[in-house]
Structure 1
């Protein structure tokens, strides 16, 4: 043990309890304290490996108060292991916040590598591995979600998303609309568990499948990056103003409502934002010189 205390970020199994390293088990036994996202969930893992180290809850809703307490304990010389419900701490959970606090306080931070759902799905998706962008969970609010998807739509790297089963259809619909129904993708669920499934298809086909069949289990959605033509079109589109986009849709025969909807979709903003921008432009034109 380091006499000044240390924080370990420990990967835990994403499904199969056998997917944990010897070093992680040894460190979980030797630590002074385990900071767990959900102590009830982690208790099952500790019981499986006959680990009796004290636990405390550390999660999104208490990370400010509990984070300060954990830092104080490490400054007093204790060794703390931080674990999430599954996979690596800090990936879509508050473990990263604790790591930043420890680094700021001069406390050593050490990884205990292991299972990770995003990378496990990526290597089995059959999509390019030369580069990837981890997006994680998309925002729940439509406007924010559109902004994120508009930003990543032209990325050439493979994209990785997380999603819960009850929001999968909504997310696949948003991905198909923003990235294109023909984009190659893989929906991976229940990784390393009994009902593990990796469904490789286009976004459109995945959406059709899960509209027919009830999504079950936690999902990782891996989506191919934009090809050169898509990226070039997106770069060119950035140079086109909002009013020019709207005018082009009107010229193509769309009514005003649909033209605003298409413009909003392309820019990752709300229709109300488009409407307000058009009004402002109209006021500018009609203003006396």
Structure 2
């Protein structure tokens, strides 16, 4: 039967085995960030399996939901047929009563419809038509109850299996979140933020950029607490009263060309086909907002990007 096949498919779930309890704080602190990252990767793979299992079961439940809707649509008609069947049996009982068989009919109709056939023989004095009508009426009532039972079974199975998967997904996500916190702590301990000291120069633009050291890179950001590369240089020079566009290539057009030997604090250094820009701070170093994996920092002017040229606002 279609219902049983769907219920069986919904119930056949291989959940990811539960892992050991999360590490204690002392155990986590004893791990390196690389070791914690390995655990994060492993649990992320487990999570992918659970999510895909969830998606698969959702696909299977589409069939179950269709059948649920189908049964729910049938119930009013089945209920009406069962009500009509009850009325028909009452009419037969009334007729039988007139003929002195009321008690006999009652004794037959009072039992479980499933064993009606075993009791039907006691109504041998009823006509074939009446017996057939009673059998049909009980069949209508039995069909209604069967469909109701199928409906409840489908709903309960669907709710239970999705609940199990969602619970497991939540547990793994909580583990990953805790591991990510441990990773952040371990990475911070392994890579302490440099002490940049105080800026001792005279460039207002550099002083502004210096104050942003350690702030997060965010694509498209221009402050006050997050930056991308051109947003940072734009903000630095705005502090000095100079307006620049929020775009490295446009800033190239808005600045005068200079040579590397002419670099002074505050000049801009352009990289990677004008896709990146930093602000020169002297001593062969720049301040820049590199990418979303790190923060505003000081690096060597030749940190790795391909230099296009230099500009002075």
TM-score bracket, normalised by the shorter chain, equals: under 0.3
Structure showing greater radius of gyration is 2
Q: Which has the higher strand share?
A: 1
Q: Which has the higher helix share?
A: 2
TM-score between the two structures when normalised by the length of structure 2: 0.25
